[in-house]
Structures are given as C-alpha cells and as structure tokens.
C-alpha cells in the first residue's frame, strides 16, 4: 500500500440541506455509552503479529502534529522527516514491511508553516493539514475564518482542520452552525475539511451528537473531537457518540464520514483501543486513513518502542528512535 495520499474509496461527502429532523431523533444515554466505551477495550485484544500489524496501521492513520507558538522551520522539518519515515528501517525489515513505503497519514501544522512543510516533504507529497478558522477558540469573524481557509488552501494545504463556534452549540443555534460550517466547506474547495467540535466544551453528549450531525450535513469530510487545547480532549465515550452519529448518517444519506480523535492519545495501547472501537462500531473501512486519523504528536514514539519490543523481545527506550 502506498500511503502518500489518502485513497478515497468512497464518494466524497456533499453538503445536504439542513434537516432538523435528524437532530430531534437523537437520544443519548450517558451511562450506557460509558459502559460500552469502558468495556470495549476489554472485549477485544490483539497480540503478537496482530498487534504489530495493527500498530503499523495506526501509524498510517496519524496526523503527525505540531501546533505550538514556538514552531519554527527547524522543528517542522524534523516533523516532516519523521512523517516520511515514521518507523526505523530495521524494525520494518524485521516485520517484512520495509517495501511498503509506510508513512503517517498527514502532517498537521499552523498556516504559517505550510510552506516549510511542503518544502520539507519534498518528493514525498504527504497531505498537509492546516488548522484554521481562528484555531483553537474560533472567536473571530466568519469572514476572517473563510479567508484563513482560502489562504491555507492557496498555500498548499490539502486538508483543513476547522473549529466550530461553541457558542452556537451551547445556545442551540443549529441552523446558524450549519450555515457557517457549510460556507467553510465551500471555501475548502478540493481540500478536505475536518471539523473540530471541541467536545470538551460542549457540555453534554447530546450536544456532541447534534453538533456531529450538523457538521456532517454541512459537508465535513471528517468530524474531529478536539483541538488538543481544551482541558478534556478525546475520550472513548465521546468518540463512541460521534462514531454512532457517523454510522447513522451513512444509513440515512449514504455518505461515509471520517473520524479523528485528537488530544491525549499518547500510548500504543490507546491507539489499539480506538482501532477496536472503529472496527466494532463502524467496520473495517474506518481502519484506513481516508476515514480515520489520530491527531497526535507523541503517539508515534510509543508505537515505535512497542514495535521494537515485538521484534527484539527487549523493552525499548525512546532515545533509540529518531525524534520528530
């Protein structure tokens, strides 16, 4: 498998007219959702060869991310180098995966570093995702949000991670939210849009479900949990609610929508839990990076260590793997 670009095996989602009916039917029982989320990781376990393969799959789904005030050309170059060669060659060889051209799913940066990323990726044009629309708080005028998207697309971003106005969710202004997000989708053009709900700030699971559906009606290619900047980021119960919304949406409209949990996913074991969640609740299509991404910066390092342990039988150390 070549991992340079997301391979879209499904028809790209389109914006559909706002349908309030899809929102009103939503029922979310928090305790039951938590129970399911809490037991899922214990109902399935992948070991040995399976674990190695699944972890490699997780690598291909990572949006390798740096979103910091002190990002410079230097660290973005390192990030891109790691994105192109995420796993040490000897480990891949031992796993029989050296010829697969394995890369992460994308690199994710602020607008100002799109150019550096492009340059650094060079002949391996991995998707570049830019966060946009006043990330992370989204507290700027819509006009500015749309302009930011256009600028990032023009600069070479092929994926745009937008944030929604949380106030619209908290005040139940679903139509307004729909309008804003669908305008953003239009502004993205061919670039794929990942809509960040900032679930940690939406108060209830029902709000999260409703916001998910509105984002999908507005044409989001992905719905994404968090910016990574909220105090609570990706959790399994929140992910379960969003995933079920995706499943229901496909049944209602035929469109497949991607999912991206982000923030706080640092361990290989967590990555496996999310993959299990996707496989069980949505199916194998959502185990590929055209429909599933992790927003993460340190996850890759832990996966590498686990893979080395699998190959050598010895527990690994972080310094043995090139940093990003």
Partner 1 sequence: MKVKEIFETMEYGPAPESADAAMSWLAKHKNKFELFIDGKWVKPQSKKYFESISPSSKNTLAKLAEANAKDVDKAVAAAKKALPKWKEIGCHNRAKYLYALARQIQKHSRLFAVLESIDNGKSIRETRDIDIPLVARHFYHHAGWAQLRDAELPEFREIGVVGQIIPWNFPLLMLAWKIAPAISMGNTVVLKPAEATSLTALLFAEICEQVGLPAGVVNIVTGAGETGAAIVDHPKIDKIAFTGSTEVGKIIRRATAGTGKKLSLELGGKSPFIVFEDADLDSVVEGIVDAIWFNQGQVCCAGSRLLVQESVSEKLYKKIKKRMAKLRIGDSLDKSIDIGAIVDQQQLHTISTLVNQGVKEGNTMYQPDIVCPKDGYFYKPTLFTDVSPSASIAQDEIFGPVLVAMTFRTHKEAVKLANNTRYGLAASIWTENINLALDIAPQVKAGVVWINSTNVFDAAAGFGGYRESGFGREGGKEGLYEYLKPRIEDEFGSSAPKPELAKAGKSNGQIEIGIDRTAKMYIGGKQCRPDGGYSRAVIGASGISIGEVSEGNRKDIRNAVEAAHANKKWGGMTGHSKAQVLYYLAENLSARKREFAARLTSMIGVTDAAAAMEVELSIQRLYTYGALADKYDGNVHHTTHRNVTLAMPEAIGVIGVMCPDESPLLGFISTVIPCITMGNSVIAIPSETAPLSATDFYQILETSDVPGGTINIVTGKKDALSKVLSSHDDVDGIWYFGSKEGSKDVELRAAENMKRTWVNYGKYRDWSNPKHGEGRDFLRKASQIKNIWVPYGE
Catalytic residues: 161, 224, 260
**C-beta separation of 56 from 3 below 8 A:** no
Of 142, 131, 134, whose CA–CA distance to 177 is shortest?
A: 142
Whole-angstrom distance, CA of residue 220 vs CA of residue 114: 21
Q: Is 119 in the site for partner 1 (CB under 8 A)?
A: no
C-beta of 1: minimal distance to partner 1 in Å? 7
Whole-angstrom distance, CA of residue 102 vs CA of residue 4: 8
C-beta of 142: minimal distance to partner 1 in Å? 30
* Length of the chain counted residue by residue: 324
- Tally of CB atoms within 10 A around 175: 12
Q: Is 9 in the site for partner 1 (CB under 8 A)?
A: no
User: What strands lie across the sheet with 128-131, from one edge to the other?
Assistant: 258-260, 222-224, 192-196, 159-163, 128-131, 106-109, 62-65, 294-296
H-type helices in the chain, by residue range?
20-24, 30-43, 48-60, 73-84, 89-94, 114-121, 142-155, 166-170, 174-188, 205-217, 236-253, 268-281, 299-312
Nearer to partner 1, 149 or 202 (CB): 202
Site string for partner 1, 91-110 (x = CB under 8 A): ----xxx--x----------
Site string for partner 1, 68-87 (x = CB under 8 A): --------------------
Query: Taking contact as CB under 8 A, which single stretch among the options 46-54, 76-84, 171-179, 216-224 is the one that binds partner 1?
Result: 46-54
Site string for partner 1, 184-213 (x = CB under 8 A): --------------------xxx-------
Out of 2, 11, 21, 43, which residue is the one contacting partner 1 (CB under 8 A)? 43
Q: Is 7 in the site for partner 1 (CB under 8 A)?
A: no
Site string for partner 1, 226-255 (x = CB under 8 A): ------------------x-----------
Whole-angstrom distance, CA of residue 222 vs CA of residue 220: 5
3-class DSSP assignment, residue 195:
strand
Q: Is 52 in the site for partner 1 (CB under 8 A)?
A: yes
Out of 7, 12, 20, 30, which residue is the one contacting partner 1 (CB under 8 A)? 30
Rounded to 5 degrees, φ, ψ at 198 are 55, 55
Site residues for partner 1, window 280-319 (CB under 8 A)?
A: 280, 284, 287
Whole-angstrom distance, CA of residue 160 vs CA of residue 221: 10
Give the residues lining the site for partner 1 (CB under 8 A).
1, 27-36, 39, 42-50, 52-54, 56-57, 95-97, 100, 204-206, 244, 275, 279-280, 284, 287
């Amino acid at each position: 498998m070549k991992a340079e670009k997301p391979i879209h095996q499904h028809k790209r989602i389109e914006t559909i007219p706002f349908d309030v009916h899809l929102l009103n039917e939503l029922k979310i029982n928090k305790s039951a959702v938590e129970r399911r989320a809490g037991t899922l990781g214990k109902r399935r376990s992948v070991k040995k060869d399976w674990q190695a393969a699944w972890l490699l799959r997780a690598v291909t789904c990572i949006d390798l991310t740096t979103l910091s005030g002190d990002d410079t050309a230097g660290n973005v170059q390192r990030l891109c180098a790691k994105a192109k060669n995420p796993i040490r060659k000897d480990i891949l060889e031992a796993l029989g995966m050296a010829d697969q051209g394995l890369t992460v799913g994308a690199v994710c940066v602020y607008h100002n570093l799109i150019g550096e990323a492009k340059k650094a990726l060079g002949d391996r044009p991995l998707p570049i995702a830019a966060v946009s629309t006043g990330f992370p708080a989204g507290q700027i005028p819509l006009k500015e949000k749309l302009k930011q998207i256009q600028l990032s697309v023009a600069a070479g971003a092929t994926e745009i991670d937008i944030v929604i106005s949380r106030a619209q969710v908290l005040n139940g202004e679903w139509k307004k939210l729909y309008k804003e997000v669908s305008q953003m989708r239009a502004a993205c053009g061919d670039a794929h849009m990942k809509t960040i709900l900032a679930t940690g700030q939406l108060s209830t699971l029902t709000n999260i479900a409703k916001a998910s559906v509105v984002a999908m009606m507005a044409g989001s290619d992905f719905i994404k949990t968090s910016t990574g900047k909220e105090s609570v980021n990706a959790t399994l119960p929140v992910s379960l609610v969003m995933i079920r919304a995706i499943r229901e949406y496909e049944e209602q409209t035929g469109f497949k929508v991607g999912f991206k949990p982000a923030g706080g996913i640092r361990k290989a074991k967590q990555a496996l839990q999310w993959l299990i969640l996707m496989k069980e609740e949505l199916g194998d299509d959502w185990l590929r990076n055209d429909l599933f991404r992790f927003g993460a910066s340190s996850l890759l390092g832990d996966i590498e260590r686990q893979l080395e342990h699998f190959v050598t039988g010895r527990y690994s150390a972080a310094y043995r793997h090139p940093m990003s």
